[in-house]
Amino acid sequence: MGIPIRSLLVASLVLSSIALHVAAKTLDPYKVLGVDKNASQRDIKKAFHKLSLKYHPDKNKEKGAQQKFEEINNAHEILSDEEKRKNYDLYGDEKGNPGMGAGNFGSHDFTGGGPRTTYFSSGDGWQTMGGQGNSKTFSFSFGGNPGAGGGNPFGFDLGDVFSNMFSGGSMGGNQHGGFAGSGKPSARTSSQHKNPVTIQEVTMQTFNKEIADQGITWLLLFYTQQAKGQFVLESVLEDVARSLDGAVRAGKVNCDIEKALCKKNGVSVGKSARLFIYSYSTAEKGSLHEYSGDSDAKSLKTFCQEHLPRFSRRVDINQFNFPSNAFPNLPEVLLLSTKKDTPTMWRAVSGMFHSRLTFYDAEVKDVSLPLLKRLGVKNVPALVGRTVNGEVQLLKDGISVKDLRSGIKELKTLLESFEKKNKKLASEQAKKHAKASEPKENKIPLLSASNFEETCGEKAPVCIIGVFKSNKAKEKLESILSEISQKTLIRGQSYSSGNAITYALLDGNKQSAFLSSFDKSGYKSSDKLLLAYKPRRGRFAVYKGEVSMEEAERFVVSVLNGDVQLSATGQKPVLR
């Protein structure tokens, strides 16, 4: 059956449009970025980064640069998303719409690109089955909705046109005018797509929990859906985060969603995305500093290194000694290395531990220095610590690391172990201090036959006895004597523990015989009194007035200073 003239005319128009579009616009994302179909995500990122910098409208004012920049971004959007990339490889459309299928005819492929767009791929004319070739993909729109009547401006099924034109024999066709493909997309192994450094989506909760004042340096990209430059900055950000992995973490904040977080940090995103570093370079607390340099990894990395924490004090190892009166009393650590400047990894960990340890670092040219020999340092880098109780010790020498991340991990492990040891020491010190500072229990003993010799025997130079005949009098005398016993009452004289003034209480109701050794009446008329007894000399003095703190202290002082006349006891006092 012959092909209708109408169909031939329409097909001719379609192919003419295709030919014009082939010359006008290339949509193959692999070709746009100049990468192979088996390219890894890292290769795609590198290509995108390079081209986006080259054609960025802010830098490239040539005609067509804007369009090229948009093509580069579109290509990156497809290939950086595994699902979109898979759909494109299978169907020629990142959305996964089969369209006209993935078949081919000779050196030409036709694929449906969604409800309004059809893609045409032109090979080099010599492409072998299953080969990659140098194909280019182009699109054109027919308008309308294919799902409804009159789905295109031509008023008939374009699939029938192509079927009439090209079908025949065993080739066969389908309702979309496609053909059974003989080649399959090459499989990409996981090893070809190594996971890049994760750029974390930052929410208010994430910021408060993981970023704010946590001692870790972050690169933060603030953006909106309308802001330009996000993909360029994100690519640079990823490169730098990978280069400084362990020292710097990366995150991005969508200010369309996290409006409160952006407002809290005083960040407003206008036409372009903005990049900040959250660092501790100048203060104990973290703060945001905006990056305004060139959009390249080298410049951003330099910016990051300038803003890494600076909590470590650079010292001269030939003259260094750990301060003995450091405040606050934190454990101290010293890094010894051959570096002329403070190493990046040491600056990073100084931020992580800045409120828990005091940091120093020094350049070492000769490990035979007396200090290093004394510490047992044989190889550098080495880490030395001083505990809270003043002990200086070698934590590790000959520290070997393969990269920045592993180096920081090794240092963190050493510092955490040292910190744990110091917490234990500090706890023990606190317990000792608390015990030492506790007021000693100065309970005044009640004299009895069993303790008289120990309390008021001849070993005691003076025994101050509070005599009571009521519970109220007992409590008052005990309080007064307890306080007086803690004071040094003789100028220029101190007593050793074996030759001390002693204090005691005596129940006058039960020990009248004892009291009669001092006075025949046994002081029967007194509810309370103070008795100063010198057992070696057998002499005493008594105070029978109103017993107050001031009067009691005056009486004791006068006895000790010899200002009171002492009387001899009638007989040796004995307790029963």
Confidence of residue 103 (pLDDT cuts 50, 70, 90): very low
Helix (H, G, I), strand (E, B) or coil at 412: helix
Out of 263-272, 432-441, 463-472, least confident range: 432-441
Sort strands 200-201 and 248-254 into parallel, antiparallel or unpaired: parallel
Mean pLDDT of all residues in 364-368: 91
| 398 three-state secondary structure | coil
pLDDT for residue 520 is more than 50: yes
Query: Is the distance from CB of 465 to CB of 533 less than 8 angstroms?
Result: yes
Q: What is the sign, positive or negative, of the torsion defined by CA atoms of 337, 341, 342, 343?
A: negative
pLDDT band at 332 (very low <50, low <70, confident <90, very high): very high
Whole-number Å distance between alpha carbons of 443 and 482: 7
Q: How confident is the model at residue 197 (pLDDT cuts 50, 70, 90)?
A: confident
- Identity (one letter) of the amino acid at 33? L
- Side chain identity, residue 418: F
Residue 19: band (very low, low, confident or very high) from pLDDT cuts 50, 70, 90? very low
* pLDDT of 537 above 50: yes
Give the residue, 454 or 9, on which the prediction is more confident. 454
Query: Residue 57: pLDDT band by 50, 70, 90 thresholds?
Result: confident
pLDDT band with cut points at 50, 70 and 90 for residue 50: confident
Instruction: Report whether 250 contacts 238 (CB < 8 A).
Output: yes
Report the amino acid identity of residue 297: A
Which of 29-38, 122-131, 398-407, 447-456 has the weakest average pLDDT? 122-131
Task: Give the Cα separation of 156 and 153 in Å (integer).
Answer: 8
Gap between the terminal Cα atoms of the chain? 144
Q: Does the pLDDT of residue 187 top 80, yes or no?
A: no
Pairing assessment for the beta strands 274-279 and 104-105 based on DSSP bridges:
unpaired
Closest CA to 574 of 448, 445, 444: 448
Do residues 110 and 158 make contact, with C-beta atoms less than 8 angstroms apart? no
Segment 420-427 mean pLDDT? 91
* Domains located in the chain, CATH noted: 5-126+133-166 (1.10.287.110), 200-306 (3.40.30.10), 317-436 (3.40.30.10), 452-568 (3.40.30.10)
d(CA 371, CA 325): 20
Peptide bond into 381 cis (omega under 30): yes
Select from 175, 139, 179 the least CA-distant residue to 159: 175
Does the pLDDT value for residue 358 go beyond 90?
yes
**Backbone torsion region of residue 27, taken as left when φ is above 0, otherwise alpha when ψ lies between -120 and 50, otherwise beta:** alpha
**In this predicted structure, which of 90-99, 249-258, 532-541 has the lowest mean pLDDT?**
90-99
Lowest mean pLDDT among 14-28, 71-85, 412-426, 500-514: 14-28
pLDDT at residue 102 greater than cutoff 60: no
Peptide bond between residue 328 and the one before it cis (omega within 30 degrees of 0): yes
Q: Mean pLDDT lowest for which of 167-181, 205-219, 351-365, 427-441? A: 167-181
For residue 321, the model assigns a pLDDT of: 87
Residue 447 scores a pLDDT above 80: yes
Q: What is the mean pLDDT of the chain?
A: 78
Both tokens of residue 98?
């089969």
Query: Alpha-carbon distance 61 to 58, whole Å?
Result: 7
Q: Which of 116-125, 325-334, 501-510 has the lowest mean pLDDT?
A: 116-125
| Two structure tokens written together for 117 | 């767009």
Q: Of 155-159, 296-300, 339-343, 371-375, where does mean pLDDT reach its minimum? A: 155-159
As a whole number of angstroms, the distance between CA 281 and CA 117 comes to 53
456, 447 contact by CB (below 8 A): yes
Long-range contacts (CB closer than 8 Å, 24 or more residues apart) made by 437-445: 440/486, 442/482, 442/485, 442/486, 443/478, 443/482, 444/477, 444/478, 444/481, 444/482, 444/485, 444/503, 444/504, 444/505, 445/504, 445/505
Q: Is pLDDT at 12 greater than 90 in this prediction?
A: no
Burial of 185 (0-12, 13-18, 19+ CB in 10 A): middle
Residue corresponding to tokens 């020629």: 92
Angle at 63 between CA 61 and CA 65, to 5 degrees: 65
What average pLDDT does the segment 536-544 reach?
A: 92
DSSP β-ladder status, 463-468 and 502-507: parallel
Looking at residue 211, the DSSP 8-state letter turns out to be I
* pLDDT score, position 325: 63
Q: For 73-98, what is each residue's pLDDT tens digit?
A: 889 989 988 888 988 888 777 665 55
Tell whether the model's pLDDT for residue 137 goes beyond 90: no
Q: How would DSSP label each residue in 139-185?
A: EEE--S-TTSTT-STTSS-HHHHHHHHH--TT----TTS----S--P
Q: What per-residue confidence (pLDDT) applies to 256? A: 95
Mean pLDDT, range 308-315, rounded to an integer: 94
Question: Residue 186 pLDDT more than 50?
Answer: no
Q: Is the predicted pLDDT of residue 51 greater than 80, yes or no? A: yes
